[in-house]
Amino acid sequence: MRTFVLALALAVAGCSAADYAIMAKSAHEKRSYDEMLGYAKQATEMSPEYPAGWYWLGIAHIEKRQWAEAIPAFEKALTLKPSAAQLQSSHAQLGRAYFERNQMDLAAPHLQRAIALKSDDASAHNVLGLVYSRRAQRALAVMSFRGAVEIKSADPTFVGNLGAEYYRNGNYAEAVETFERAIALGNTDRAGLEPLRRALAERGPGPRFDPQSASAPPPTHGSLGVTLQPLTPELVQSLGVPDDKGALVNNTVSGGPAARGGLRQGDVIRELNGVAIDDAAALVRAVTQTKPGQTGRFVIWRDRAQHTITMRFGEFPAGTGIAATAPAAPTPAPVSPPPAQAPVPAATSAGSGFVLRNTNLVLTNHHVIADRSRVTVSFPNGESYPGRVVARDPGNDLALIELQGRPAGAGLALAATTGIRAGETVHAIGYPLGGGLSRQPSIVSGQVSSAVGMGDDIARFRTTAPINPGNSGGPMVNAQGQVIGIAAAGLVRQGVEAIRFGIKASTATVILQQSRAAQTAFDIVVSAAPPPAMSPADVFAKVSPYVVLIEAQ
């Protein structure tokens, strides 16, 4: 009551949004969550553009387990450029909220971003492990739980989750040992130990955990903890690599040797311990010849320059290791347009993009603009504007272009809260062959063939829609006309039909929320119920006016 009277007095005296945010933080420390919610609401009402107010409002809803209410509060805070600590925490809490709402595709990228910002966030590692476990991605789940336990080895919940995941993998001896340790630390789930002991007695210890094959003998070589991606000509050009030699890091496993040692998404590994790395298969062979704890000297290409990183290999499988711990499949050949159908001759590069609603920004693939200095953006109605590249993310192959001379206004919103399901209809709208066929956009349709990309990459999805060179960077929309992804490069292998990819809108949203270039709060679709399905013709009529042709020199 005294706190409420003080707050009322402050309000009468001209309390600011910052004051209310401070009171919300104080109430949180006292675990007075109803008071905290009231103060945070006052802060957001008094100053809707104050990020700390929205952050503490989100925290209040999290503490009250109001997941649906927490999500828009944190999303709003992220668009307003919060402090570094609140930025990291917002991503972590969004991941937790999406997990609690069973929206795993949306939870994972926020948790990964939170870990990238603060690698010792044990709770984020643990929740990411729960996400992977729910998706039955056993290798990644164990690695994430291990990351949490490495940071907080005395946490009974984290240790217990690791033991339970061992059990799901059939690693009964490791499960019992780990779960007994969790109980010794204070885990109250003693009943959970009995099924583990029965399984150990009835079926033996089971194989040691191996993310590649549960029946394989325990490997003795070191591990790196990365997934790899073919180095296509488009990526060579966009990353500025001297040639097509090397292995491109698609992702690093949370808590793994690569992540701890400073290797990151978008790096191209060119040399390991003095041995040239020609492709992903060569890197895999080199890694399997190492021992746990051995030091590796990596020559990498990053930010258009060569660097050297030294790191220790982890134990396989303890401590990570997916793509770089077993022989890789043959590197797929890139899809490229026939010479006779090259993009517009006047441009060095051409592709598609789309305007983000309420902004003067165009979202596209990074490889469309790469390092070009002159960019022209053309609309279907004939309007054309010079563009200025204001943000680059080569690792995720995304870029933002600011339209010079066009005010913020109509455009497309990202359906970042819409789940992607295998089998649903998807349309790709863009300029195939970079305007070489027509300077008007076209539409192609297909289905989502998988909700994950290559190597179970949850930042992307696979599609049967025939995406051609030039479509890159254009929007991919569902049957409701919502933008669920950004068209990305396709891959083919001999004797295999082309496989096409899209970058999920949720991945782009996480990146945009951290971009200083996106000063205007771009739109994110949040629908209580999905809108009705539309015909392909109606989808095209709704979306195409904001799909642009990008020509870069």
Domains of the chain in start order, with CATH, are 16-203 (1.25.40.10), 222-331 (2.30.42.10), 332-553 (2.40.10.120)
Distance CA 112, CA 131 (A): 11
In DSSP terms, which residues pair with 412 in a beta bridge? Answer: 356
**pTM metric for this prediction:** 0.55
Per-residue pLDDT of the chain (553 residues; tens, 9 = 90+): 444 444 444 444 567 888 998 999 999 999 999 999 999 999 999 999 999 999 999 999 999 999 999 999 998 888 787 888 998 999 899 999 989 988 887 788 788 888 878 888 999 999 999 988 887 777 778 888 888 888 898 898 898 888 888 887 777 778 778 878 888 888 776 666 676 667 666 666 665 554 444 333 344 456 777 766 667 776 776 677 888 888 887 666 655 677 777 787 778 899 998 888 887 777 877 876 777 778 889 999 887 788 888 888 765 433 333 333 222 333 333 333 333 333 333 335 688 999 998 888 999 988 888 777 788 999 998 888 999 888 887 777 888 898 988 888 888 988 876 678 888 999 999 988 776 677 889 999 999 988 877 766 777 888 888 887 788 899 999 998 889 999 986 654 444 456 788 888 888 877 676 665 554 445 555 444 567 888 999 999 999 999 999 988 7
CB 175, CB 285: distance < 8 Å: no
CA dist 13 → 8, 9, 16, 385 (Å): 9, 6, 9, 50
- What is the distance between the terminal CA atoms of the chain, rounded to a whole angstrom? 66
Query: In sequence order, what are the residues at sequence separation of 6 or more whose Cβ sits closer than 8 angstroms to the Cβ of residue 440?
Result: 380
H/E stretch holding 372 reads none
For 429-471, give the DSSP string: EE-GGGGTS-SS-EEEEEEEEESS-GGG-TTEEEE-S---TT-
